């Protein structure tokens, strides 16, 4: 945790990529972490079975917002099935350093919402924790 | 703090074994989250062990020696609580915690007394525990929910109090706000509520641990508090109710230990407080709660209030220079008007990130909505960090908080 707040994390927090609203999104979902109030909304535009455009919006801590921002960069061009199969390791790889158990929910909020969007339902996935 | 006062706090802190244990990073544990739960002195922990090792037995029925001792210690703890809050022993009902006490009143008293067209008056500072049970009562009864407003500093605005009390059957308000520390103007609320014919429930979860309380002087009808926020164990709390009210109220839970006579078809119930205490009680924790109250009485509640007032003043003074770097301090910022609670945010650092960085320095603060989501929405705060003080906190703890804030500012390039 001491070195979690690296420059690129803070950069994604203060300058989130693919941030905003998408008109005519094909798939979207949002969720919040009721314990801490972090919120994320994910929208996807799908062209020929693959993600063309992606936008996220929300508010919360640097970890939740930076992880979501990095995730949007990763999923462009993926199929919905590929997104549905994304594991938390993908997020951990993006953020690059260990996250304490208490903050894992923050880091995984974007992934949970994105997968919900991809499969069109909010039910949790077994590997989300 | 004077040298003598500092010595006294150091002696108190030495009674809390957890405070002597360094964190996994080798930092001194700086515990600033007593509004969530307090730490426990050695004597309280020992009382739990003593019960289980020496006289573990069920109460109110066994005739053998250890059962008699368990019953005696359990009822002696009730006497201690009654003395501590200036109540009669028959007015002290054991419950799990403040939340259970409020639910008990909302169901038992509420269902019997609230009708469509009545009003329930709360405040905008209430913890979810003193809000949600009343929302459900309003839905069940058709009563209207009203709120005493607060200003942008979290201070009560009482200009329309008489209008708000018109048609009101019960007022439920926090003695001390867990988010901002605001102290309720209890005299005004109780006297005007009574004049309007309403009863008053005071949520004392943050009151009884930090302020001297005397039920006869406060004259509220119900007062609720939790052991774990006042040096006692989790899982034990108290509902105080005026005797005539408790006598008129139907029981909330039914079963063993709350009955007078049971036949197959019907039953009659004990007198208060036992008619509200169905099933085997939380014996060990009740006894240890009594020991916690002994400890607070030895320290002295006027001293507790004065210590926290001085520490809050010191903290506000030490935090002020950070305002140039974007620190926002919420609430009244006046140690006379608040109990030992300070909510804040540092520039664009989210409260959770701030709490994580403070944690690396051994400093424990709360981050989030503090179970007051409507208040956060009203004020426009997504989350705040909260430092709260108790008997064992020192000026060195406040200094450690400032070191943590420096680190957070450095990490976030502020």
> How many other β-carbons are positioned within 10 Å of the β-carbon of residue B18?
12
What domains are there in chain B, each with its CATH number? 3-31+301-411 (3.90.1150.10), 46-298 (3.40.640.10)
Residue A83, domain member (yes or no): yes
Residue pairs spanning A and B at CB distance below 8 A:
43
Nearest CA in chain A to B369: A36
Cβ-based neighbours of A108, under 8 Å, separated by 6 or more: A67, A88, A91, A128, A129
What is the phi-psi region of residue B37: left when phi exceeds 0, alpha when psi lies from -120 to 50, beta otherwise? beta
Question: Does the pLDDT value for residue A65 go beyond 50?
Answer: yes
Question: By three-state DSSP, how is residue B204 classified?
Answer: coil
Count the neighbouring beta carbons within 10 Å of the beta carbon of residue B140. Answer: 13
Q: Three-state SS for B345? A: strand
**Distance (Å) from the C-alpha of residue B352 to the closest C-alpha of chain A?**
6
> By three-state DSSP, how is residue B169 classified?
strand
CATH of the domain at A40: 3.90.1010.10
Interface of A with B in 105-124 (CB under 8 A): 106
Rounded distance, CA B83 to CA B68, Å?
22
Task: Name the nearest CA neighbour of B206 among B386, B29, B79, B41.
Answer: B386
Contact A106 B352 (CB under 8 A): yes
The total domain count for chain A is: 1
In a domain, residue A46? The reply is yes
From the list B25, B348, B356, which residue is nearest A103 (CB)? B356
DSSP 8-state code for residue B14 = T
Q: What is the pLDDT of residue A26?
A: 87
Q: How confident is the model at residue A3 (pLDDT cuts 50, 70, 90)?
A: low
Cα B251 from Cα B71, distance rounded (Å): 22
By mean pLDDT, which of A19-28, B142-151, B174-183, B342-351 is the weakest?
Answer: A19-28
The verdict on B379 touching A (C-beta cutoff 8 Å) is no
Task: Answer yes or no: do A103 and B350 touch at CB < 8 A.
Answer: no
B residues 359-378 lying closer than 8 A (beta carbon) to A = 359-360, 367-369, 373, 376
A115 occurs within a structural domain = yes
Domain of A86, in residue numbers = 7-119
Q: Which residues of B are catalytic?
A: 371
pTM exceeds 0.95: no
Say how far apart CA B81 and CA B75 lie, in whole Å: 10
Percent of chain A with pLDDT over 70: 90
Within chain B, what is the greatest distance between any pair of CA atoms?
Answer: 73
Which of A2, A6, A16, A59 best probes binding to B when mutated, by most B CB atoms within 10 angstroms?
A: A2
- Residue A54 resides in a domain: yes
For residue range B59-84, list pLDDT tens digits in order.
988 899 999 999 999 999 999 999 99
Residues in B touching A5 (Cβ below 8 Å): 353, 357, 411-412
Mean pLDDT of chain B: 96
**How many residues comprise chain B?**
414
B358 Cβ neighbours under 8 A, 6+ residues apart: B364, B365, B385, B401, B404, B405, B407, B408
Per residue in B159-172, is it b (16+ CB within 10 Å) or e — as a string? Answer: eebeebbebbbbbb
Q: Which of B5, B39, B31, B37 is nearest to B401 (CA)?
A: B31
Asked if the model's pLDDT at residue A81 lies above 80, the reply is yes
Work out the minimum CA distance from A57 to partner chain B, whole angstroms: 15
A82 falls within a domain: yes
The pLDDT assigned to B64 comes to 95
- Binary contact (B350, A5; C-beta < 8 A): no
pLDDT computed for residue A123 by the predictor: 42
Q: A2 in a domain, yes or no? A: no
How sure is the predictor about B132, in pLDDT bands with cuts at 50, 70 and 90?
Answer: very high
d(CA B49, CA B40): 13
Contact residues, chain A, for B380 at CB < 8 Å: none
Reference B389, options B305, B298, B297, B295; nearest CA is B305
Q: Side-chain half-sphere of B365: how many Cα atoms within 13 Å? A: 33
């Amino acid at each position: 945790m001491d070195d979690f707040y690296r420059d690129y994390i803070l950069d994604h927090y203060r300058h989130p990529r693919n941030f905003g609203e998408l008109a005519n999104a094909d798939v979207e979902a949002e969720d919040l972490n009721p314990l801490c109030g972090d919120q994320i909304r994910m929208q996807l535009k799908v062209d020929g079975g693959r993600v063309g455009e992606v936008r996220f919006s929300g508010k919360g801590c640097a970890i939740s917002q930076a992880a979501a921002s990095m995730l949007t960069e990763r999923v462009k061009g993926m199929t919905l099935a590929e997104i549905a199969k994304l594991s938390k390791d993908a997020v951990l790889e993006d953020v690059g350093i260990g996250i304490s158990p208490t903050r894992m929910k923050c880091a995984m909020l974007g992934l949970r919402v994105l997968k919900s969007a991809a499969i069109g339902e909010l039910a949790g996935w077994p590997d989300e924790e | 703090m004077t040298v003598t006062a500092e010595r006294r706090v150091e002696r108190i802190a030495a009674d809390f074994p957890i405070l002597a244990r360094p964190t996994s990073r080798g930092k001194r544990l700086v515990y600033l989250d007593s509004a969530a739960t307090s730490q426990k002195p050695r004597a309280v922990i020992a009382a739990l062990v003593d019960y289980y090792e020496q006289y573990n037995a069920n109460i109110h029925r066994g005739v053998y020696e250890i059962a008699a001792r368990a019953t005696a210690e359990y009822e002696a703890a009730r006497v201690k609580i009654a003395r501590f809050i200036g109540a009669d022993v028959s007015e002290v009902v054991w419950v799990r915690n403040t939340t259970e006490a409020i639910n008990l009143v909302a169901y038992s008293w509420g269902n019997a007394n609230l009708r469509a067209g009545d009003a329930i008056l709360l405040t905008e500072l209430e913890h979810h525990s003193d809000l949600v049970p009343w929302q459900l009562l309003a839905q069940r009864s058709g009563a209207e929910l009203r709120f005493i407003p607060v200003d942008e500093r979290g201070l009560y605005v009482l200009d329309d109090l008489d209008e708000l009390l018109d048609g009101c059957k019960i007022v439920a308000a926090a003695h001390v706000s867990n988010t901002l520390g605001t102290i309720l103007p209890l005299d005004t609320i109780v006297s005007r509520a009574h004049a309007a014919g309403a009863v008053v429930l005071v949520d004392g979860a943050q009151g009884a641990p930090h302020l001297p309380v005397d039920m006869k002087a406060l004259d509220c009808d119900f007062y609720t508090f939790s052991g774990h926020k006042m040096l006692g164990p989790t899982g034990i709390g108290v509902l105080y109710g005026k005797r005539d009210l408790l006598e008129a109220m139907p029981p909330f839970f039914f079963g063993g230990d709350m009955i007078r006579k049971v036949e197959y078809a019907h039953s009659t119930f004990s007198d208060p407080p036992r008619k509200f205490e169905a099933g085997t009680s939380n014996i060990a924790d009740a006894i240890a709660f009594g020991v916690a109250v002994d400890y607070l009485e030895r320290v002295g509640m006027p001293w507790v209030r004065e210590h926290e007032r001085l520490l809050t003043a010191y903290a506000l003074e030490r935090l002020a220079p950070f305002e140039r770097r974007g620190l926002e301090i919420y609430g009244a910022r006046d140690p006379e008007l608040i109990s030992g609670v300070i909510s804040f945010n540092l520039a664009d650092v989210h409260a959770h990130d701030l709490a994580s960085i403070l944690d690396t320095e051994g400093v424990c603060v709360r981050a989030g909505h503090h179970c007051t989501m409507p208040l956060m929405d009203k004020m426009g705060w997504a989350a705040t960090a909260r430092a709260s003080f108790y008997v064992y906190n020192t000026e060195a703890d406040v200094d450690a908080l400032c070191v943590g804030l420096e680190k957070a500012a450095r990490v976030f390039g502020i």
